[in-house]
A and B are shown apart, each in its own frame.
Chain A
Amino acid sequence: DADVTQTPRNRITKTGKRIMLECSQTKGHDRMYWYRQDPGLGLRLIYYSFDVKDINKGEISDGYSVSRQAQAKFSLSLESAIPNQTALYFCATSDFTRTSGGYNEQFFGPGTRLTVL
């Protein structure tokens, strides 16, 4: 079974609709992240959370909101979707270990392809 799962895997919606993308993890990691990938731009950070009481904006948070329902669940919402939010969305998790000084690799889910018409 996958350690980081995302639902749905594909979604087509219309401008103005509210959309929620969900992420669950079984890795037991405290840190969770949402990224979007656009052609030619790589992955850009939308929001990140270090525990259920901690939510932080990334570099492109406008138009998005998140909810950390539990250590294992981190949801991304588009309150009113617009066509330029068409992209591939990835959730990721990471662990914090003092021996590494906090530097650890992130583990990614399979992604959600979102199309806004």
Chain B
Amino acid sequence: DQQVKQNSPSLSVQEGRISILNCDYTNSMFDYFLWYKKYPAEGPTFLISISSIKDKNEDGRFTVFLNKSAKHLSLHIVPSQPGDSAVYFCAASGDSWGKLQFGAGTQVVVTP
């Protein structure tokens, strides 16, 4: 039973526009959330994270929003660039042991 869900397997967006990726979770014990980006033939790389004590975290073009009551988080990429074309994984942790639960991923394609 997947505790972290990314219901959109793919997203296509024009260069310069906003990309919005969504993630839902079911385990109320999760209190730390991360987004990873993955290019083909490479391992996932960390993008941005948010603790449950916050509802927003921003790093350059990337912003993560957390809605604890809805058990929902989203990643906004503004503006989208061709190099952002990749698979994005949402992940969640509920303890300090560092174990992560991952979503299935969303393939983002940024078109010119």
Query: Which positions in A face B, CB cutoff 8 Å?
Result: 4, 31, 33, 35, 40-45, 48, 50, 58, 90, 92, 94, 96, 101-111
Contact = CB atoms under 8 A, between A and B. Distances in A.
Given A103-B51, A105-B34, A110-B41, A40 B98 contact: no
B98 A42 contact: no
Interface string B6-40: 10010000000000000000000000101010000
A44 B36 CA distance: 14
Interface of B: 2, 4, 6, 9, 32, 34, 36, 41-46, 49, 51, 89, 91, 93, 95-100, 102-105
Contacts of B2: 41-42
Nearest to B51: A103
A106 B9 CA distance: 23
